[in-house]
């Protein structure tokens, strides 16, 4: 009888121990999910951001609503756009070309000895030439043999040469300024170049006109010593007048071509058909 209670006590102890093991295993299983959730909280459903906007169905629905509400292209009101167009006027280009021509003509006139011509005699601004077998007495009582020599030390010849050099230099400056005005895109700087070019060309025009008037008038006072009956002005003198004509044309073109005519304001209507999709 005493052995039976001991056997029962052993069975109860074994059952209690078995229950204790089960309880410990359950506690471990309970701790593992808690540990996992606490250690990796980023997988919590409540903490995840809302990505519903990337739902393909919602995007398609929004685009369908937008396309239904958007008016057709032909019913959209046109918008008027004003754009500025800068156009280089051809008159200023022609004025620039005239300036280049004047430079060439003045170089030819300065280098030539055919300003004043008579039998066996050619006179330029820097050199005069005596022909072979010339008849004496020579013009202006020159005693030199045939050949070319530095021109006579006469005031009006030097003045004419100086005026022609001034014409060449000033016209070259005015031509360069006109070219810079054509090239630059800055409107204020462009107009400044044009204004200065016109003034410099006016100086050049006055200089060449003065030279072309002084030369024949002063020569007329020397006819008593000319020793020739027939005198004529050579092609170089005519080239000087050609340069004066081109200069006058360039000045007129730059003055008549108003500054505002280079800028055009053009209006055009633009209908926005398809806007960018969301």
The answer, as to whether pTM is greater than 0.85, is: no
For every residue of 181-243, DSSP letters joined together read HHH---HHHHHHHHHHHHHHHHHHHHHHHHHHHHHHHHHHTTGGG---S--EE-HHHHHHHHH
The pLDDT confidence band at residue 103, using thresholds 50, 70 and 90, is very high
| pLDDT at residue 83 in the model | 58
Contact 262, 85 (CB under 8 A): no
Mean pLDDT to the nearest integer, 94-100: 94
Element (H, E) at 170: helix 155-183
When mean pLDDT is compared across 5-19, 42-56, 212-226, the lowest value belongs to 42-56
pLDDT at 139 over 70: yes
Mean pLDDT to the nearest integer, 146-160: 90
Q: How far apart are the first and last CA of the chain?
A: 91
| pLDDT at residue 268 in the model | 53
- In this predicted model, which residue has the larger pLDDT, 273 or 129? 129
């Amino acid at each position: 009888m005493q052995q039976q209670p001991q056997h029962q006590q052993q069975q109860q102890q074994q059952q209690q121990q078995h229950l204790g093991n089960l309880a410990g295993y359950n506690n471990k299983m309970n701790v593992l999910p808690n540990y996992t959730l606490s250690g990796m909280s980023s997988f919590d459903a409540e903490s995840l951001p809302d990505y519903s906007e990337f739902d393909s169905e919602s995007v398609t629905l929004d685009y369908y609503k937008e396309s239904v509400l958007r008016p057709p292209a032909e019913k959209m009101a046109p918008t008027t756009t004003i754009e500025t167009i800068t156009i280089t006027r051809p008159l200023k280009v022609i004025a620039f070309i005239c300036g280049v021509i004047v430079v060439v003509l003045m170089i030819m006139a300065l280098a030539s000895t055919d300003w004043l011509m008579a039998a066996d005699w050619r006179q330029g601004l820097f050199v005069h030439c005596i022909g072979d077998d010339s008849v004496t007495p020579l013009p202006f009582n020159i005693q030199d043999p045939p050949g070319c020599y530095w021109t006579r030390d006469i005031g009006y010849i030097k003045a004419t040469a100086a005026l022609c050099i001034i014409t060449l230099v000033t016209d070259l400056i005015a031509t360069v300024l006109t070219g810079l005005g054509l090239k630059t895109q800055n409107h204020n700087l462009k107009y400044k170049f044009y204004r200065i070019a016109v003034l410099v060309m006016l100086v050049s025009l006055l200089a060449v006109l003065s030279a072309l008037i002084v030369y024949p008038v002063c020569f007329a006072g020397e006819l008593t010593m000319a020793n020739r009956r027939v005198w004529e002005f050579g092609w170089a003198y005519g080239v000087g007048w050609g340069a004066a004509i081109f200069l006058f044309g360039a000045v007129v073109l730059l003055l008549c071509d108003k500054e505002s005519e280079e800028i055009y304001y053009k209006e055009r209507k633009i209908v926005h058909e398809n806007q960018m999709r969301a």
